[in-house]
Amino acid sequence: MARSLTILGATGSIGRSTVDVVLAHRDELRVEAVVGGRDAQALANVARKLGARFAALADEKGGATLKEALSGSGIDSGAGPSAVIEAAERDADVVLAAISGTAGLSPTHAALKSGRRIALANKESLVCAGAAFMAETRRLGVEIMPVDSEHNALDQALAAGRNGDVEKAIITATGGPFRTWTRERIEKASPAEASAHPVWSMGSKINIDSATLMNKGLELIEAHHLFGLEPERLDVLVHPEAIIHGLVQWSDGALTAGLALPDMKVPIANALRHRERLAMDLPRLDLAAIGRLSFERADETRFPCLTLARAALQAGGAMPTVLNAANEIAVEAFMAGRIGFYAISEKVEMVCSTFSRRSISAPVTISDALAIDEEARVAARRLMPP
């Protein structure tokens, strides 16, 4: 029987890959609702293509355009925050949570319902409110399946043994566009150069997080909450080929790795059906053709954002929330040409240092997380040049 699916963030990069997976498995997946940001026409196109029952646009001003674009389709629609929450709460077996940034916090939390599966691609749910979010999933009996390729690979690798036997869980990084650059050259990097990811096609903000390695730091925080592993049992390994996405080192010395070509449709398909794998018509991994896989340790001297994220994870409390908010403001300033590349880590460190002296507890609710997030953003904006 077909499982019903709601896609939060249907017009983004993860959403578009999910659409491809659904279209390849129409007999196994039925779409209940789709949610988009500002592009009403793109959302209407997705809703029609998938035969969704409801479409919600986050931008309230686009409601009329969305309704007109769906005219005659029989698809209901709405716009604004309440419509997005309505979509998240509609009956569905699986909700793919792929709204990026803190905008995805409330809809993802609203999607938590007893017996439901959340295919999680919104990292802020765990970085900004990990303890609260995971406590709620346990209370409701919600199954969380990670969509990020690294966490999805770890999830599969961890099935090879017991959590208590894990010596180290390792996520991989391509190293970003500056992997071989000197610190002096990186210091002069432009936003365009920082946005040029060598493997993945992602949005500009995530690309820059990959260039600073902040993305890997945030993924360590996610892994801590997803798998219940202490900071000292989590690590990052640079692997430019992006074939191995996650590894588990066991207490007996064995190593289990998750390998796949760098295509997000692979972890998405796994997250949607998990132990009932969807057959995907994708290129197969040919290790003989690839020939060689290489690895190196992350250089935290050239990429200090990874160090800052490790420190925030170790400190706990509200520090991961503060780190994420300060980083978003700093990256925004860098993209606008107002600060240099290394000023991103400098500004983030200044904000984190200010908040660390206050010993703020970890947010207990999503509202708490959003309040801390806003306070940290205000503090970060004060440090940015006009």
Starting from the edge strand earliest in sequence, which strands make up the sheet with 296-297, in order?
255-259, 244-250, 166-173, 234-238, 296-297
The two tokens of residue 206 are: 């995530």
User: 201: pLDDT confidence band, cut at 50, 70 and 90?
Assistant: low
> Which residues 6+ apart lie within 8 Å of 105 measured at CB?
122, 124, 125, 128, 129, 366, 369, 370
Q: Is 87 helix (H, G, I), strand (E, B) or coil?
A: helix
Mean pLDDT of the region 250-271:
96
CA distances in angstroms from 39 to 89, 203, 286, 330, 333, listed in the order given: 22, 16, 39, 26, 24
Q: What angle do CA 241, 261, 97 make, to 5 degrees?
A: 110
C-alpha distances out from residue 135 to 96, 144, 260, 316, 373, Å:
19, 12, 31, 16, 20
Residue 313: pLDDT band (50, 70, 90) is very high
Nearest to 61 by CA among 82, 79, 75, 41: 79
Above 70 in pLDDT, residue 102? Answer: yes
Look at residue 200 and tell me whether its pLDDT is greater than 80. Answer: no
Whether the CB-CB separation of 71 and 45 falls below 8 Å is answered with no
Q: What Å distances lie between residue 2 and 26, 30, 269, 283, 291, CA to CA? A: 8, 6, 14, 26, 40
Cα(327)–Cα(124) distance, rounded to whole angstroms?
A: 12
Three-state secondary structure call for residue 361: coil
**Domains recognised in the chain with CATH numbers:** 3-146 (3.40.50.720)
Q: What is the pLDDT of residue 20?
A: 97
Residue with the two structure tokens 């491809």: 20
What does the pLDDT look like over 149-177, one tens digit per residue? Answer: 999 999 999 999 999 999 999 999 999 99
pLDDT digits (tens, 9 = 90+) for 246-255: 999 999 999 9
pLDDT value for 339: 98
pLDDT tens-digit series, residues 71-83: 999 999 999 999 9
Can you tell me the distance from the alpha carbon of 191 to that of 208, in angstroms, rounded to the nearest whole number? Answer: 8
Q: What percent of the chain has pLDDT over 90?
A: 93
- Helices 204-212 and 341-356: angle between axes, nearest 10 degrees: 80
Polymer length in residues for the chain: 386
pLDDT in tens, 33-50: 999 999 999 999 999 999
Nearest to 229, CA basis, from 237, 238, 220:
220
Q: Name the amino acid, one letter, at 328.
A: E
The stretch 222-233 carries a mean pLDDT of 97
Q: Residue 262 has what pLDDT?
A: 94
